[in-house]
Structure 1
Amino acid sequence: MTDVFEEVEEEIRSERLKRLARTWLPVVGGILAVALVAALAWWGWQSFQTSQANKASVAYQRGIESLQSGDTTAAESAFAEAEKAGNGAYKALALQQRAGLAVQANRIPDAIKLFDDAAKADSDPMLADPARYKAALLLMDNGGTLADLEARLLPLTEDDRPMRPFAQEALGLTRLQFNKPAEAREQFVLLTLGQDVPESVRQRAQAAISMIDAGLVTGLAPIVAAQQLVPPPEPAAPTGPDGQPIDPRALEAARQAQAQAQAAGAN
């Protein structure tokens, strides 16, 4: 009798396992299939991104070489190719280079638009903020309104923004241009008290405060001219917090590694 009971129990367990298999195997198989498709899609996307970055790198380097040789036509063509092929860092840098060529050709509206497009091409402030700053400088000299200039510059003056002291100085000059010396003075005072302010910017801020206090508003033109001589970070060689140049390829690789880590964490 014991053997009979054991056989019955075994058959019951076997039947239960079969029912569980019929119920859950399709679900598990579907999940595995979805995971496989997602992994293949991610791999394909990463391969495509790498291929595009390589194309953009080659075109961008060709543009730099054309600039160095004085061939602006070839440089424009190469940077346009890098802009089209690349994304993120290369697209932002190529657009900024094209904007610089537009400035040289005195196509100021085109240059402002290209700088604006460069700022939108990459969310990293190290690349986007210099483009926003340069667009604001061009508007300062070409009929920009106070509201427009403040809207462009104020976000750049926030803490930890790479162009903060330059944007504060530009904001102060903008307010002087529109006959708002008290508001301008506030910006220049912040520059004299800031810890990470370049010494040349600090000295000009102190000079501007002295002129405002003395009522020498006519001294604005020399200050503006001096301010324009301060070179912001070059788009061709963005720098990190340690002051070392950032390689666009390394920047893109770091972003891809971060994205992969986030995807792995989600799984």
Structure 2
Amino acid sequence: MTDVFEQVEEEIRSERLKRLARNWLPIAGGILLVALIAALGWWGWQSFETSRAHAGSVAYQRGLEALQSGNTAGAETAFTEAAEKGNGAYKSMALQERAGIALTANRIPDAIRLLDEAAKADGDPLLRDTAVYKSALLMMDNGATLEDLEAKLEPLTKEGRPLVPFAQEALGMARLQFNKPAEAREVLVLLTLGQDVPDSIRQRAQAAISMIDAGVAAGLPAIVAAQSVNPPAAPAGPSPEQLAQAAQAQAGAAQQ
């Protein structure tokens, strides 16, 4: 009888194992299949982003070399290729270079449009905020309203953004341009108190505050207009080398 009981129990266990296998093996297989597809997709995305970064880098460098040699048409072609074939970082950088070419040719609306496109091309804060800042500078003397300028500049003044002092100065100048000295003074005072404000910006803010307090700030809009056409080198944001480092960093992140 003991042997019979053991045989029955063994058959019951065997039947349970079969039933478990029928119920769970398809689920386990499905989970493994999804994991495999996800891994392959991630690897494919990384490879795609790396190849785009390389293509953008080659075309972007070719554009810089064409600019240095005075070949504007060649530079425009190369930067267009970099924007089309490169990843987000190189697309943003290339569009900003094209905006510079348009500005040199006095095609201000085209320059503003290209900068706005560059701001949307990549999520890197340095690339994005630089494009927005440059666009706002050009808009100051080209029919923009104060509301348009504040909409672009105020987000750039928030804590943690990479171009806070530059954006604060531009915001103060925009408000002066629209005869809002009290509002301009508020943001300019922040520049005189900030810890990470470049000396040149701090000095300009102090001078502007002195003019506002003396009631002679009416002449400042003319200075703002001149700066918007020919932005000073210092507030123009990061250098091409810094922008290239940002793009390379993104490419490196895609490879990890």
TM-score calculated relative to the size of structure 1? 0.89
Judge conservation of contact 1:96–1:131 (CA < 8 Å) in 2. Answer: yes
**What CA distance in whole angstroms lies between the structure 2 residues aligned with 1:157 and 1:247?**
21
In structure 2, the gaps of 5 or more residues are none
Structure 1 residues 140-194: Cα deviation after superposition (integer angstroms, max 9, x where no partner): 1212111101111111111111111111111111111111111111111111111
* 1:77 alignment partner in structure 2: 77
Q: Does the C-alpha gap of structure 1 residues 203 and 233 become closer, same or farther in structure 2, counting only changes over 3 Å?
A: same
Identical positions, percent? 67
* 2:10 alignment partner in structure 1: 10
**What CA distance in whole angstroms lies between the structure 1 residues aligned with 2:52 and 2:106?**
32
Judge conservation of contact 2:46–2:254 (CA < 8 Å) in 1. Answer: no
Q: How does 1:49-198 map to 2 (within 5 A)?
A: 49-198=49-198
**What CA distance in whole angstroms lies between the structure 2 residues aligned with 1:116 and 1:165?**
21
Q: Does the C-alpha gap of structure 1 residues 143 and 131 become closer, same or farther in structure 2, counting only changes over 3 Å?
A: same
Judge conservation of contact 1:96–1:118 (CA < 8 Å) in 2. Answer: yes
* 1:237 alignment partner in structure 2: 241
TM-score calculated relative to the size of structure 2? 0.92
> 1:36 corresponds to which letter in structure 2?
L
**What CA distance in whole angstroms lies between the structure 1 residues aligned with 2:239 and 2:19?**
65
Shift of 1:230: 4.1
Judge conservation of contact 1:55–1:86 (CA < 8 Å) in 2. Answer: yes
**What CA distance in whole angstroms lies between the structure 1 residues aligned with 2:114 and 2:67?**
18
Judge conservation of contact 2:50–2:254 (CA < 8 Å) in 1. Answer: no
Q: Does the C-alpha gap of structure 1 residues 152 and 226 become closer, same or farther in structure 2, counting only changes over 3 Å?
A: closer
134-143 or 230-239: bigger deviation: 230-239
> 2:150 corresponds to which letter in structure 1?
E
* 1:262 alignment partner in structure 2: none
For this pair of structures, how many residues does the alignment match? 252
**What CA distance in whole angstroms lies between the structure 1 residues aligned with 2:182 and 2:233?**
24
Judge conservation of contact 2:55–2:82 (CA < 8 Å) in 1. Answer: yes
Which of the pair has the greater relative contact order for Cα pairs under 8 Å at 6+ separation?
A: 2
**What CA distance in whole angstroms lies between the structure 1 residues aligned with 2:247 and 2:23?**
51
Shift of 1:3: 1.8
Structure 1 residues 76-115: Cα deviation after superposition (integer angstroms, max 9, x where no partner): 1001000001122111111111111110111100100100
